[in-house]
Amino acid sequence: MAPDTNAFSGVVDWKLAARTGVKLARSGPATSRYTAEAVVAELADASMRAELPVREVTGLADGLPVPTAQILDRAGWIHAAAHSMSQLTGGDSAPGLLLGKPAGIQAGAMLAYLSSAILGQYDPFTGDNGTLLLVAPNVVTVERALRVNPSDFRLWVCLHEVTHRVQFSSSPWLTQYMQDAVDTLGTSDDESVADVVGRLSAAVRDRGRPDPDASGAPGGIVGLLRATQAEPQREALDRLLVLGTLLEGHADHVMDAVGPAVVPSVTTIRAAFDNRRRRKSNPVQRLIRALLGMDAKMAQYVRGKAFVDTVVGEVGMDRFNVIWTGPDTLPRLAEIDRPADWVSRVLG
């Protein structure tokens, strides 16, 4: 990545972000030392046990090694996430450079908020083959709130995150594809502020359109962000949105497809978890979620799973897996909501 053309490089002091995030993060749920150690051990085991059913359902990653997961507390996740973002966006700002510090504090506040919401995450940008991260206190918090079987819930969470690991390990091109899109988003083309403001104003005037619009373009905060960007950056954002929708929807499909033979209370967990997703938060939480794009991410799960459910139901998993061949076989933005168009274009 060329440091003189990427607007992200040096803008955020990610080391400061990590320190800030750890200071601001809420403490985890109260547990005894014995319980905490038992949760860590069970999540580590579940991350390994989830691999076989995920591979059987998806037909992916057969014969590849199964790396161990990292089981973290909230502070550990903040440090890991800050390091990953540093790798992805071009590194920390130079020591003493004031430019990166305000953004670092803002990023730290964001990481602090997310650190109590993230159950797990596959990070394709760290380690030789990516790293699977599981946040133990958050898993305990949610399983208690949902009143579900803890062992079943921990395995169910691992099924989702292990699916991401399988997606990337069986399709190595995905990591560079994401990196290239992020690089494009960060490329400055020296366009005038007037051009950006003009596009933003037009987007605000058009907010009465359906969300998403007929082309599949997102609305809301993401739609406004998209509208302010020049065409190359807009296309890069679209690629990331479509890929994220596919990855999350595919993982949700797999979570349910493994069935009660693997997770006995899977139906109960799915119903409780979906109810939790739909639950209304207070106005401040809704604003924060919107600004961080979390509501858009929830929509990704729903739209992505509907796409995968429909295509797999029509053509089977083996033919669906053509989707992982390369960039040209990924769904286009409009095809997420019209899976028959993807089937016609890619599978004939």
Give me the phi and psi of 209, to 5 degrees please: -70, 155
Domain-embedded: residue 194? no
% of the chain beyond a pLDDT of 70: 74
- Tell me if 221 is assigned to some domain: no
Answer yes or no: are the C-beta atoms of 48 and 68 closer than 8 Å: yes
Q: Is residue 195 domain-resident? A: no
Round the average pLDDT of the chain to a whole number and report it. Answer: 81
Among the ranges given (4-18, 112-126, 250-264), the one the predictor scored with the smallest mean pLDDT: 4-18
Those residues whose C-beta lies under 8 Å from the C-beta of residue 262, and which sit 6 or more positions away, are 53, 155, 159
Residue 324 scores a pLDDT above 90? yes
- 312-158-163 Cα angle (round to 5): 35
* Angle of the 136-146 helix axis to the 150-170 helix axis, nearest 10: 130
> What is the pLDDT averaged over residues 83-92?
76
Tokens of 39: 């949760």
What tokens does 261 get?
């033979």
For residue 65, is pLDDT > 50?
yes
The verdict on residue 207 lying in a domain is no
Distances (CA, A) of 30 to 140, 274, 319: 10, 25, 47
Q: pLDDT-based confidence at 291, cuts 50/70/90?
A: very low
Supply the pLDDT for residue 94.
Answer: 42
> How many CB atoms neighbour CB 226 within 10 A?
19
**Structure confidence at residue 267 (pLDDT):** 92
Say yes or no to pLDDT of 289 above 80.
no
C-alpha span between 24 and 107 (Å, rounded)? 11
Residue 335 clears pLDDT 90, i.e. is over it: yes
Residue 328 has pLDDT above 70, yes or no: yes
176 sits in which H/E element: helix 173-185
Domain range for 342: 14-189+230-347
- Count of Cβ atoms closer than 10 Å to residue 3 Cβ: 9
What is the number of domains present in the chain?
1
Decide if pLDDT at 209 tops 70.
Answer: no
Residue scoring higher pLDDT (89 or 240):
240
Q: Which ranges constitute the DSSP H helices of 51-149?
A: 51-58, 74-89, 100-114, 136-146
Whether the CA torsion 90, 91, 92, 95 is positive or negative: it is negative
In a domain, 166, yes or no: yes
Lowest pLDDT segment from 65-74, 142-151, 285-294: 285-294
Predicted local confidence at residue 127, as pLDDT: 75
Residue 330 has pLDDT above 90, yes or no: yes
Q: Among 347, 321, 346, which Cα is nearest to 61's?
A: 321
Q: pLDDT tens, 28-61?
A: 999 999 999 999 999 999 999 999 999 999 999 9
Rounded Cα distance between 207 and 90, Å, is 34
How crowded is residue 15: how many other Cβ atoms within 10 Å of its Cβ?
Answer: 18
- Say if 223 falls within a structural domain: no
Banded pLDDT at 241 (limits 50, 70, 90): confident
110, 112, 113, 114: CA torsion to nearest 10: 80
Q: For the chain, give the percent of residues with pLDDT over 90.
A: 53
Q: Which residues contact 260 (CB under 8 A, 6 or more apart)?
A: 266, 267
Q: What is the pLDDT of residue 8?
A: 41
In a domain, 222, yes or no: no
- Per the domain annotation, does 217 fall within a domain? no
Long-range CB pairs of 282-287, under 8 A, 24+ apart, other chains included: none
Average pLDDT over residues 67-90: 90
